Amino acid sequence: MGRSRHGLLWLIIGLALVTLAIAIGVQVHQAQNRYQTKIYTGTSADNVNTSKPISLLLLGTDTGADGRITKGNSDTIMVVTINPKTKKTVITSIPRDTLAEMVGTKTTNVQKLNAAYNIGGSTMAKASVSKLLNIPIDYYATLNMGGLKQIVDAVGGVTITSPMKVSYDHITITKGRHHLNGKQALTYTRMRYQDPRGDYGRQLRQQQVMKAVLAKLANTKTLARYNQLLSSLSNNLRTDLSFNDLVALATKDHENTKHIVSHQLIETPAWINTSSYQIASTAKLQTTSNAIRSQLGLKAEKISNIETKLNALNSSYDGTTNLNYDTNGLDTITYTE
């Protein structure tokens, strides 16, 4: 049960820190060259339209720490929507163990949502989240666990107020206000089982550290650490937002980062073939979809996918007294452990 997890909006952090430096005119050519060759994975010449709402899938992978070097799973999953008209950024966290269809496999199957990145990279992760919530995903960004530690150290650490005592990986952070270095921040955002809120509590701590880093990035003193920041991102961040996209977002949509709202997709536990999962009810999926689509300026649509069909077939499952959930009700599904 000791799987590692970490804070994620290090992806937005990564985007913000590079664009912050660019917007102020710091080493533009060097930054652009390193970014386009080391971080950018896209191929399209189209620039982001900063006059319209956009969506970004943020993935935190379980590599880069504890000796992990494989592609890994995306153990942190967040959908970020930016609306220049409302000047609001909304972050929606999705549990890693959410039962979901792996969109793009040769045979239709359902697994934990965090497996999508391992199976088909960012392309499958985007497609799977998009279908789960019936929302468009415009861009993605991924960061591995090792990147979190490096980025926090690069900005000189972050100050947070812990709501509880956190002990994990031989590090203890007591309840109260603390200034954390990179290793401590990684510990603070990875611990899950001591938190009575479970994975949801971990998500809140991730968002807490994320906002603290963003605050640091908004401080011009951070630019003194520019090369260290860019180096940490080059080794750990991948995104299909181009350098010019980030400059546009930083210069035209920077007001959005002052109005950040966080939400969570709340689910219920289930057992499927002796493995634990999280199930998103059809009602919760619909509510989350409606909220994200509204933020993107889109009309609400009724969700109809494999998840909603399985929910209908599991009428006796309630997530409290009955945790048994059957994925074999649809003939087209091949369940993969």
Residue range 273-306, pLDDT digits in tens: 889 999 999 999 999 999 999 999 999 999 999 9
Smallest Cα–Cα separation from 119: which of 131, 102, 133? 102
Residue 170, C-beta contacts closer than 8 angstroms, at least 6 positions apart: none
Contacts of residue 4, Cβ cutoff 8 Å, sequence gap at least 6: 62, 65, 66, 68, 75, 145, 190
Nearest-angstrom CA–CA distance, 128 and 134:
10
Please name the residues in contact with 62: beta carbons below 8 A apart, sequence gap of 6 or more. 3, 4, 5, 6, 68, 72, 73, 74, 75, 144, 145
pTM higher than 0.85, yes or no?
no
> How far is the C-alpha of 92 from the C-alpha of 260, rounded, in Å?
11
249/315: higher pLDDT: 315
Sign, CA torsion 266/57/97/287: positive
Report the pLDDT value the prediction gives residue 336, as an integer from 0 to 100: 45
The CB density around residue 71, as the number of other CB atoms within 10 Å, is 15
Q: Identify the residue whose tokens are 């860019």.
A: 230
Tokens of 336: 């993969």
Q: Which positions ≥6 away from 256 have C-beta within 8 Å?
A: 82, 83, 84, 87, 88, 89
Specify the pLDDT at position 99. Answer: 95
Question: Is the pLDDT at 185 greater than 60, yes or no?
Answer: yes
Residue the block writes with tokens 């959908």: 79
| Residue 298: HSE in the Cβ half-sphere, 13 Å Cα cutoff | 17
Digit-coded pLDDT (tens) for 80-117 = 998 988 888 888 989 989 999 999 988 878 999 999 99
pLDDT at 23: 45
Q: Among 75, 103, 95, which residue's Cα sits nearest to residue 270? A: 95
Tokens read off for 35: 């970014």
